[in-house]
Amino acid sequence: MNEIKAFIRVECLENVLETLYAHPEFPGITISEVFGYGHSDSARSESDLLRVHMLKLECIATDAISNEVVQMIGQAARTGGAGDGRISVHRLQQVVKIGTGKAVREESE
């Protein structure tokens, strides 16, 4: 299983959600409003840092659909401009459901 984190533009959220919810195996998502600092193409010093308002999307996906989820987010959030965001994928050693205390297993195991 993998944790997928994506930082996207606020205005891309609806498009990303529509795309993900259309996938029959998509498990769900957590959305957080975040602020960060980054450089524009012309900014080169600390005084030129720009405050950026974005959304952080997080989900846990099986190995079978992780690459597909990454592609779906990327395509739905891409505007073609600088500052479209980032997606990272992190391998999870263990996932446990709090309500049952049981480990979540990959469907193929």
Domain count, the chain: 1
Domain span holding position 46: 2-91
Question: Does residue 106 lie within any of the structural domains?
Answer: no
Question: Does residue 68 lie within any of the structural domains?
Answer: yes
Question: Does residue 108 lie within any of the structural domains?
Answer: no
pLDDT at position 45: 56
Describe the strand order of the beta sheet including 85-91 as a list of residue ranges: 30-38, 50-61, 2-9, 85-91
Question: Does residue 70 lie within any of the structural domains?
Answer: yes
Please tell me the pTM assigned to this model: 0.83
Owner of token pair 């690459």: 67
Domain with residue 44: its CATH number is 3.30.70.120
Question: Does residue 7 lie within any of the structural domains?
Answer: yes
How far is Cα 47 from Cα 90, in angstroms, rounded to an integer?
A: 33
Question: Does residue 103 lie within any of the structural domains?
Answer: no
Q: Per-residue pLDDT for the chain (109 aa), expressed as one digit of tens each?
A: 999 999 999 999 999 999 999 999 998 999 999 988 766 555 555 555 667 889 999 999 999 999 999 999 999 999 988 888 999 999 999 999 999 999 988 764 3
How far is Cα 31 from Cα 79, in angstroms, rounded to an integer?
A: 20
Is 68 in a helix, a strand, or coil?
Answer: helix
pLDDT at position 107: 62
Q: Which residues contact 49 (CB under 8 A, 6 or more apart)?
A: 37, 38, 39, 43
Would you say 46 and 38 are in contact if contact means Cβ atoms under 8 Å apart? Answer: no
